Structure 1
């Protein structure tokens, strides 16, 4: 275990991308905004891997996030001038290709730069032998030590394929402080910091439940983690940028897309229930006390498969007799289909209101989605069946847009393989290749058991009011499941929340979850409970036809539901 030299200054790691498509100017903003040692960029998500897989099918030289290359054209010289090193997972399915193109770009710009890339995560050619089937993409989530090895070898830029998002920050910290596999608490602390900054401005007020409390959200600044030798950190942002960094914004991001108290990773299992947060200044939140355990034996694998083709039509129903209009057009449409798709889903959203003062207020939306393995079944014939009803159906027939020809869609599934079956490789700036061995500490993971409900005490008189008056929430997708992290800002409020917001209460408040498996976990240090709702998103964002396909609004729906809040809390 490394002896932590507290005299070494913290390493300043800024993030400039939370997803493929994030603010293009963020890279320059981070480089211009103040002192940094590293800038990281997260470009990959489960859906992104599917998009890149389809790109690679069309052109084997593609498969990486081209936005990053364009950002480097603008910022490479500036980064070198400022002495800032860059780590990004923009390599996607083709880290080598991105590294090669970066080298050519640097030569064109006349900039001398040392480039390394991390790969070995791509298992698609071995998927069948590893028991993963025949997916379009199959990528293991690698850890941080490949990045650290590249930085130790002098790389100015490290591009990777599928690594865990937090590893973008853990790798630079491990290199800076010389951490080893047995520095579990330090690694866990860096994972917590990396998890906070990985989604960009979600840590500085973006998508924040109490957003009205933030003075300037017109253009939130991107976050920075100042990571210390022991793994503790301070989350902040550049001075003068929008948004805010508070215990609340950091809590919200810590709860994003997690399960129970144990946050499994390839290098360490991070105990989310050990995290302590403290506001230590304006836009400065300290993360400390994070405990780490041995990582699991297996690595998670992101699997994407092409599942078929889909098409959809949205019809507008206005005024009276909405239900009757919906029944009529449903019967007409289905009887007009020469071949019925394997899956045909109807969804009526009653966005209308009685005696609406605008046409929009008087209208509902009826959506039909068809899925088939045969492109023709949901292609032009599907669209024609809707168009042909234009003069023959309910009064006021119209659609939100002309129907299209349909498009391929994919499904996501997680897989697992032994860590030592994955060849984690680093190609260093001199062209040599280093193989990164998995953690020697890995072992069977201890599952988090959902905790039983607490006995309910008498909280005195209550008033019916939206839960969101007292609680914040953040939700998101993990394949076909979704999580909702709910937190409060007062210990007494937490005692009430812990007792009141049970799995049964969640089912009542969110009826769509009534027949689904739900687990609840307590995170007392964060004054939070986290729910994991299985299969609410079907087989992932690219497959499911739910109104909110990534579950991003589940938390806000929950906050809008009325519960009995104790009057003693004085929030009403």
Structure 2
């Protein structure tokens, strides 16, 4: 088995995790994920101010473990290179020199498409071409360049933008020699990488049934024992807090996905073929994953500077909450007319059990966005504060008057994979020319040129479609005695963001409950249970093998990333909102 451990799920994760994973038990590869769409904007801002364009916290973690990793032969693979993989690799080499260690450091380039003619790129949803020159443009590379770096003898591999799963797929290719047409094995490693990419979310963190999780304050980070056929066991080091169960792994599998065909540059992983088995305490086996040839295009993350934003939050308490909110708005717009801003978003957020005729408490969030930092800054925020003594009774604010902050937007695009050339560098020298790249014409397992690959086998019946009542197990459904209760009594959920869209995965623990859920939780009912998604386009996908449904809510988060104006700007709590909604559950399922 190849033991691949994770020590970071985002830029800002627990700094002690690298040491915990290296010292907590045997591992072969230490990985970490530092990049997200928002991170690329943050790094671009840092670079513009003369700061590093990579994740500096990676070096802080590395300082604690680099000597031990060299001594034990543990390889380190990280995407902390961000917008400057070469600079990050140089900093790692400098750290090794200061520690008196002999370390071979590789970095991967080729993802950065800044300055390239991107007129051939297109939006995956609309087909539109990029409208302007982006601030950052980075293609999602796969695991093969990482494997090439490890095969060349690298102790540490630093990348820029790769898929999150590539941090596991790359070491898998290195260890087992998978060819580009070993689709099933590659797909299995993609699933393994997806499970551990977000750190403790696979070991009980953010888990709907958190009361089942022992010692969550000391939650251990995950690792996978990856086999030659792409199957794996998800586990964690003994003696750490948290939980690895079919439920926690299912929750992470549903995080930030779309259809059951999970696209990637190494393989398409069929999430509707995944089989989960609890092998013992904190050990879940993943097997049966089927793969398909990767698509002919690579995904590109484009970010753009979009202007300036400011948010002021007022607290409303007691009676007549909605009337107070109207009065507060009228007072603000009397000082700074609403129509003078490029965009205005107003959100009334109930607190506690919600609003009632008897009163309650709510937050009134007013957000303005504008190209002019002055207009969106003190002109707006001071106007809100000026209403305090002349407005609604009980007025107070949670935010002081302040300046506007810049924000950016994210747009995905597709570009022909053959136009992207990954390059691998070891100790400053290029390795093997473009041999590290799996994307060129004629590469095994992918079609020549930009032609459309063979149509994949159809998904199993019912996948992606609403099921019909005939598929409900006998005795479950309408006509039975029901109990009105929160949906989350028997349903788990995990939600997240991808640009301006939100995904919401839900699962249950038995086939009987799943039979009921597939009939009960249609896209239409979801919109009734979650009024915030009403009127938006909702895609619904079924994963019977996981006893799960996945919903993609298009446009819920506006333009996404730092342009989001909802209180829950990344839809992290959308699943919990759904679980709190009241619905009628058959008593037989309780």
1:432 aligns with 2:430: yes
Pairing of 1:399-438 with structure 2 (within 5 A):
399-429=397-427, 431-433=429-431, 434-435=433-434, 436-438=437-439
Match of 1:385 in 2: 383
- Structure 2: distance between partners of 1:125 and 1:440: 30
Match of 1:340 in 2: 340
Q: Compute the displacement of 1:21 (Å).
A: 0.3
- Structure 2: distance between partners of 1:230 and 1:217: 33
**Secondary structure at the residue paired with 2:218?**
coil
TM-score (structure 1 length as normaliser): 0.94
Q: Compute the displacement of 1:92 (Å).
A: 0.4
Q: Compute the displacement of 1:430 (Å).
A: 6.1
Q: Compute the displacement of 1:348 (Å).
A: 1.8
RMSD: 1.9
Pairing of 1:100-499 with structure 2 (within 5 A):
100-131=90-121, 132=130, 133-337=132-336, 340-351=340-351, 362-429=360-427, 431-433=429-431, 434-435=433-434, 436-438=437-439, 439-443=443-447, 444=452, 450-455=464-469, 459=476, 460-499=480-519
Q: Compute the displacement of 1:392 (Å).
A: 2.2
Q: Compute the displacement of 1:74 (Å).
A: 2.1
Q: Compute the displacement of 1:353 (Å).
A: 7.3
Relative distance call for 1:52 and 1:127 in structure 2 (3 A) is farther
**Secondary structure at the residue paired with 1:377?**
helix
Relative distance call for 1:328 and 1:26 in structure 2 (3 A) is same
Match of 1:54 in 2: 45
**Secondary structure at the residue paired with 2:408?**
strand
Relative distance call for 1:538 and 1:353 in structure 2 (3 A) is closer
The answer (yes or no) to whether the contact 1:127–1:134 under 8 Å persists in 2 is no
| Unaligned residue ranges in structure 2 (runs of 5+) | 122-129
Q: CA deviation digits over 1:38-63, x for unaligned, max 9?
A: 0000000111111111112222x621
| Unaligned residue ranges in structure 1 (runs of 5+) | 1-9
- Structure 2: distance between partners of 1:471 and 1:530: 13
- Structure 2: distance between partners of 1:324 and 1:465: 31
Aligned length: 556
- Structure 2: distance between partners of 1:323 and 1:563: 26
**Secondary structure at the residue paired with 1:401?**
coil
TM-score (structure 2 length as normaliser): 0.91
Relative distance call for 1:174 and 1:375 in structure 2 (3 A) is same
Q: Compute the displacement of 1:473 (Å).
A: 0.9
Q: Compute the displacement of 1:312 (Å).
A: 1.1
**Secondary structure at the residue paired with 1:126?**
coil
The answer (yes or no) to whether the contact 2:483–2:587 under 8 Å persists in 1 is yes
Q: Compute the displacement of 1:314 (Å).
A: 0.7
**Secondary structure at the residue paired with 2:429?**
coil
Q: Compute the displacement of 1:464 (Å).
A: 1.4
- Structure 1: distance between partners of 2:404 and 2:517: 45
- Structure 1: distance between partners of 2:78 and 2:68: 17
Match of 2:58 in 1: 68
Relative distance call for 1:462 and 1:129 in structure 2 (3 A) is closer
1:97 aligns with 2:87: yes
The answer (yes or no) to whether the contact 1:153–1:429 under 8 Å persists in 2 is no
Q: Compute the displacement of 1:329 (Å).
A: 2.1
Choose 266-275 or 426-435, whichever is displaced more. 426-435
Q: Compute the displacement of 1:72 (Å).
A: 1.4
**Secondary structure at the residue paired with 1:376?**
helix
**Secondary structure at the residue paired with 1:218?**
helix
Match of 1:28 in 2: 19
Q: Compute the displacement of 1:177 (Å).
A: 0.8
The answer (yes or no) to whether the contact 1:192–1:270 under 8 Å persists in 2 is yes
- Structure 2: distance between partners of 1:362 and 1:197: 41
